[in-house]
Amino acid sequence: MILNQQSPVPLYHQLARIILEKIRNGEYRTGAKIPSEPELAKEFALGRPTVRQATELLVRRRILLRKRGSGTYVREKEEEIDLFSLAGTMSAFEKKGIQLTRRIIKQIIRIKVDENKDNPFAGREAFFFSRLSSIAASPFLIEDIYLDSRIFSDISGDDFSVHSLSGIIEDRYQMKPTHGKQSFAVHYPDPEQTELLNIPETYPILFVKRYLHFREKENAIYSELFCKTDTFVFTQQIGGMPYE
């Protein structure tokens, strides 16, 4: 594999493609260290800044991992979790064989929701609770969950640290979500979130607004999710999303 000096494609992009091809064909194995920047510069007759641009591109794409004082490695394949499972986040992790633990941060109570253009319960009452999910004692997900108090009028006695919300609703109300909507944004955590997730305030996390619809009621459940993304790749299925 050689670089094309006459190509309109920048040299660092060409080098990144070559490195990626070497990963795909097994020449650079998962978890293995790739050649150093001086070695790559010598092999491809490039300046070190160009090599650094190529490896940095693959680091940003989470294909390579740079370890301070050690070198650059092929990143281990990350677990992918379907963030939009209508059966709930617990079900999504169970499908992967991952044991999830939860702690209730704020017990479920009936509240009057503040004015918020994105919250479907703004200005009226809803049930609210908040919980923290961890893997191997490492926290990674905060869920703030609002439920329609007129439909789920007697849900306040359930333990949401043990049982899945979707399972409780199906068992008690014989209701299943039919469809939903999510929006995504980058969020910088507030002081409470930094403490719960054990991250600095400058650490960007994934912020998800989730709306779940039922035959009986649109927007019966609204959630705000705050996710660390250094352990899992969160995915979303495109197309039909049957309830599982």
Angle formed by the axes of helices 11-24 and 48-60, nearest 10°: 60
Full-prediction pTM beyond 0.85?
no
Q: Can you list the domains of the chain with their CATH numbers?
A: 11-74 (1.10.10.10), 79-235 (3.40.1410.10)
Cβ-Cβ contacts under 8 Å for 214 (sequence gap 6 or more): 151, 175, 176, 177, 178, 220
* Average predicted confidence (pLDDT) for the chain: 84
Q: Which residue has the tokens 């992790």?
A: 93
State yes or no: pLDDT of 203 exceeds 50.
Answer: yes
Write down the pLDDT at residue 244: 33
- Residue 238, both tokens: 């495109």
From CA 103, how far away is CA 156, in angstroms rounded? Answer: 16
| Residue 109 confidence class, pLDDT cut points 50, 70, 90 | very high
